[in-house]
Structure 1
């Protein structure tokens, strides 16, 4: 994670640590402007969160992750994927795997 500011890296790691207490996280990726090295002070911190399983409602998982994110830094935008979906031929997942930075 060489190309992102240390303060952003600490924020990301804190989010993953907190989210991991209530979610089964297999891996996580930073994607978007921070991963591309073109972030501005207004940029979101886009994080793909790959879950080994989730409740019956992926939307509720996202809401739960967003609540955790809001307590840490309101720029964090978590996007949950089920492990199988992230491995499948999903255009967003493919982009994240190709250009994102693996955090966990």
Structure 2
């Protein structure tokens, strides 16, 4: 796994804190994509899978739920929200996140 730059760690920590403050308890936070694999550039976004009981299961509605919080922290964050029951290894996308990502929580 790649070394996460300190400023990215700080952004992620603040983001998770803001989610919690806005009644979105985070069960799991997994960094995936270029920051997890080490292939990031200055233009890379911060791909985060967030697992929370506060999500409804609709990616559109759940992304809308976190959009304002996300933009208040960093426009570089790309959140993929999951309910715990949807974050299963049978899903190829979840499997890829688990195989290539870095679990932060």
* Distance of 2:57 and 2:90 partners within structure 1: 22
Partner of 2:64: 63
RMSD (Å), alpha carbons: 1.8
* Distance of 2:30 and 2:41 partners within structure 1: 19
Please give the residue correspondences for 1:78-93 in structure 2 after superposition, counting only pairs within 5 Å: 78-93=79-94
TM-score (norm 2): 0.89
Using the TM superposition, give the Cα deviation of residue 16 of structure 1 relative to its aligned residue in structure 2, in angstroms.
0.7
User: For the Cα contact (< 8 Å) 1:61–1:80, is it kept in 2?
Assistant: yes
Partner of 2:97: 96
Partner of 2:31: 30
Using the TM superposition, give the Cα deviation of residue 25 of structure 1 relative to its aligned residue in structure 2, in angstroms.
1.6
User: For the Cα contact (< 8 Å) 1:53–1:83, is it kept in 2?
Assistant: no
Q: Deviations over 1:28-86 (max 9, x none)?
A: 10000000011000001000001124247442221121221111110000110111111
* Distance of 2:80 and 2:67 partners within structure 1: 9
* Bigger strand share: 1
> How many pairs were matched up?
104
Partner of 1:7: 7
Alignment gaps of 5+ in structure 1: none
Q: Deviations over 1:79-103 (max 9, x none)?
A: 1011111124111110111110111
Deviates more, 1:1-10 or 1:68-77: 1-10
TM-score (norm 1): 0.90
